[in-house]
Amino acid sequence: FRYQLPQGPGVDPEAVTVVGEPQTHHLVRYENLYQIARQYDLGFWELARFQRALDHFYLPWETDIVIPTQWIIPERSSYPGYLLNVAELRGYRFFPEKHEVRTYPIGIGVLDYKTPIGQRFRVQSKSVNPGWRIPKSLQAKYGMSFMPHSDENPVGSRWMGLSHYGLHGTHAPMGVGRLVSHGCIRHYPEDIEEMFDLTPVGTPVELIYEPVKFGFLKGRIFVEVHEDIYHKIPDMLKYALKRLQGKGLAGRINWHRFLRAVEEQSGAPVDITRE
């Protein structure tokens, strides 16, 4: 996707920080939500939250559903090679020289082993079909300290080491888009293979936690609100209002749409432009 950052505060009509567009999927017999999510390169909960009105185990066959394949890129003054927004379970691989970005769903650390936030790393190493040096906290479970590469190895076919953590694939793709790991970042096998080829050693990696994002497309204002999965924000409305006021947009929005977006936390961009 191509993007163009705002050149100043307020609304820049040339800015493009909302990328992709929603798609429509026709449900057929025996499909499940996980299969559909992976088909569109979404995490399971990314689609499930957006389609929360559906019975996720008994989908209404022969009907159409909207697929949330549109995103607001997280706001930064400059972008690293790979920016991971832990709050939305999604990463953004930037190519600033071309004003292009690719985005991938990720699986992150469970509540007891949270993925680190607010830290910057560089890719220090890369491995194909890696073994796994098992953390001490898991060695009793697996009965070993090192697991050679196999179909049962949780790190999958690719590993990009950051320090104590890494970016890797998985032998259990259903964990992508969920809280599943001991802190590392999981990707679908097809995504990590693409990332591996596009990401040389030395590439900067930054991890942030931003559940409320504002973006621009064709001079219009969008907001994207996610659930507070790590329970870091006591009052989401207060937090969202502070972010809004800091951007100087309070006089330019439709307040009903904004408040509804904060309440629903659908994880998809919502047009909140005042007409």
User: Tell me, what CATH number does 51's domain have?
Assistant: 3.10.350.10
> For residue 90, what are the β-bridge partners?
85, 105
Residue at a domain's end among 159, 185, 208 = 208
Q: Are both 97 and 181 inside the same structural domain? A: yes
Q: What are phi and psi of 271, to 5 degrees?
A: -75, 115
Residues 201 and 117 in one domain: yes
Q: Domain count for the chain, please give it.
A: 2
One domain, residues 64 and 91: no
Q: Which amino acid is at 17?
A: T
CA 204 to chain centre: 17
Last residue of one domain, picked from the residues 12, 43, 68: 68
Do 185 and 127 lie in one domain? The reply is yes
Q: Which residues of the chain have pLDDT under 70?
A: 10, 77, 139, 142-143
DSSP 205: E
* Same domain? 195 vs 101: yes
Which amino acid, 78? S
Q: Return the structure tokens found at 134.
A: 């098992």
Query: Does one domain contain both 102 and 145?
Result: yes
- 97's CB contacts (< 8 A; 6+ apart) are none
Which residues make Cβ contacts (< 8 Å) with residue 210, sequence separation at least 6? 74, 75, 85, 87, 88
* 51 lies in the same domain as 92: no
117 and 170 fall within a common domain? yes
> Would you state the pLDDT for residue 56?
83
Same domain, 193 and 90: yes
Provide the pLDDT for residue 193: 94
Tell me which residue range forms the domain holding 111: 82-208
- The residue from 208, 226, 259 where one domain ends is 208
Beta bridge partners of 224: 213
- Per-residue pLDDT, 77: 66
What is the per-residue DSSP string for 73-96? PPP-SS--SEEEEGGGTEEEEEEG
Give the CATH number for residue 148. Answer: 2.40.440.10
Do 141 and 53 share a domain, yes or no?
no
Query: Three-state SS for 171?
Result: coil
φ, ψ for residue 181 (rounded to 5)?
A: -100, 180
Distance between CA atoms of residues 187 and 200, nearest Å: 17
- pTM for this entry: 0.91
230 belongs to a structural domain:
no
Q: What is the mean pLDDT of the chain?
A: 90
Q: pLDDT (tens digit, 9 = 90+) per residue, 202-247?
A: 999 999 999 999 999 999 999 999 999 999 999 999 999 999 988 8
